[in-house]
Amino acid sequence: MNERIAENIKPHPSSFRDPSGFIFEQNGSVYRQINLLYKEHYDQLLSSGLYEYLVTRKLLISHNEAKDVGTADARAYKIIKPEKIDLISYPCEWSFDILKDAALFTLKIAIAALDHDMILKDATPYNIQWYKGKLIFIDTLSFEKYEEGKPWIAYRQFCESFLSPLLLMHYKKADLHEMQLAYPEGIPLDITQRLLPWRSKFSIHTWLHIHMHAKFGKRNAGKNEQHAVVSKKKLTDLIMSLQTLIRSLRFENIRTTWGNYYEEAAKRETYLETKKEIIKNWLNELPPLNTGIDFGSNNGEFTKLLTEKNIQSVAMDIDPVAINKLYLGNKESINELIQPLLVDLSKPTPSYGLNNTERQSLLERIHDRGIGLHLALIHHLCLGKNIPFTAISSMLNDCCKYLVIEFVPKSDYRSQILLSNKKDIYDWYTEEIFEKEFSGYFNIRKKMSIGETGRIIFLMESKRN
């Protein structure tokens, strides 16, 4: 065995739970080791036609078997190299309809597996990712040979990870970003049962998959439930029942602070048009860029300026309605270049899991993109959240090489709203200090007023090599 190559293997911190194999990095590429333990199931995945069925329909990430990758692990059966995903996201960063579609997508995969005499052993949202404008399943090792009469081992996981948050959002008409972060492996059924309104029991599907499921789980706590005999027909009926319930769920009639932002902004004479024209001109002057971030995207009005330049873009916003609108619009138009994420920039997703390394923080995942848009956002972070310019500029410097950022003065109508119910302690919030603090990390290449609004837009370039 070539020791030099073996030493280059870096097992991924999130890839320790499944004895079937693990993900590792070698020479900058990502691979997955399939262990001998999983040999029978992997061979079945290929010989049954399930792999080909899923890949040709773009439901499962494709892979090549790697022949020239060294491994010192005696457990190895195969090494595969999957297609690369640009950015891994987490369910706490998804809007309602992203999670809903991911749930239905998982059930579609489960039905396909049964049709090929296999079963989905994992039903976690982390196995669904964003790829070329669509959802895709990324865990090749989540399939096992179907055994007649055996229940679906991933049923509770699916209900807690997908169904619980969807039902709570449907009935409570509220976003669960914080709660999903508190329960990264899914909201326990007994908690969901207590939080759902009594009227939810009138839905036969909700009663079955949540209320009865939770009650059964309590009654059989500590007991082995694997003795239950469930036919393939019953498994299929169970999955179809879940599909029926999830398709009926809605996140409607929710009014949030920024859900209708552009409808209001459009009333300000020429503001949006002038800002767009400035940014378009600056993008034309920059060298070709591959990746970008819109840090306050709302429904993606300005993110599309990046995609017009063929820039793979992450569109993030704190508003669940705005991000949901962006997702649904992209789904309809199949914009492959925009990935919408629900993010609070004042407290972006932290690293979590085992040793706080199992799941990377958002800032680690979006590190070093080509360009960032930070438009009409600085006053919310500074005046609304008391975050100093230095902290913002340091974060943005790590995230992007070029930065287009809009400074909103304290005299602006929107700034005054933020200050209306608090003491003005922001003597440092001035254009002069803004430029000085950002100049510690960025070279200011251009600066322009946005019409008569008093707002200033800057084009900056990171000083880091």
Question: How confident is the model at residue 17, as a pLDDT?
Answer: 85
The pLDDT tens digits of the residues spanning 180-192 come to 999 999 999 999 9
State which amino acid sits at residue 73: D
Question: How confident is the model at residue 3, as a pLDDT?
Answer: 33
The pLDDT tens digits of the residues spanning 248-272 come to 999 987 666 655 555 555 556 689 9
Residue 132 has pLDDT above 70, yes or no: yes
E strand or H helix at 97, and its extent? Answer: helix 96-115
The tokens for 9 are 């293997």
The CATH number that domain 261-462 falls under is: 3.40.50.150
How many C-beta neighbours within 10 Å does residue 102 have?
A: 22
The pLDDT tens digits of the residues spanning 136-148 come to 999 999 999 999 9
The pLDDT tens digits of the residues spanning 78-117 come to 999 999 898 999 999 999 999 999 999 999 999 999 999 9
Nearest Cα residue to 264 out of 322, 329, 331: 322
Residue 2 has pLDDT above 50, yes or no: no
How many whole angstroms separate alpha carbon 45 and alpha carbon 23? 19
3-state secondary structure of 437: helix
Task: Return the minimum-mean-pLDDT range out of 27-36, 131-140, 303-312, 346-355.
Answer: 27-36
Residues 48-57: contacts with CB under 8 Å, at least 24 apart: 48/116, 48/117, 48/118, 49/116, 50/112, 50/113, 50/116, 50/118, 50/143, 51/140, 53/112, 53/116, 54/109, 54/112, 54/137
What proportion of the chain, given as a percentage, has pLDDT over 70? 91
pLDDT, mean over the chain: 91
How many whole angstroms separate alpha carbon 152 and alpha carbon 232? 10
The pTM of the whole model exceeds 0.85: yes
Nearest Cα residue to 80 out of 18, 35, 41: 35
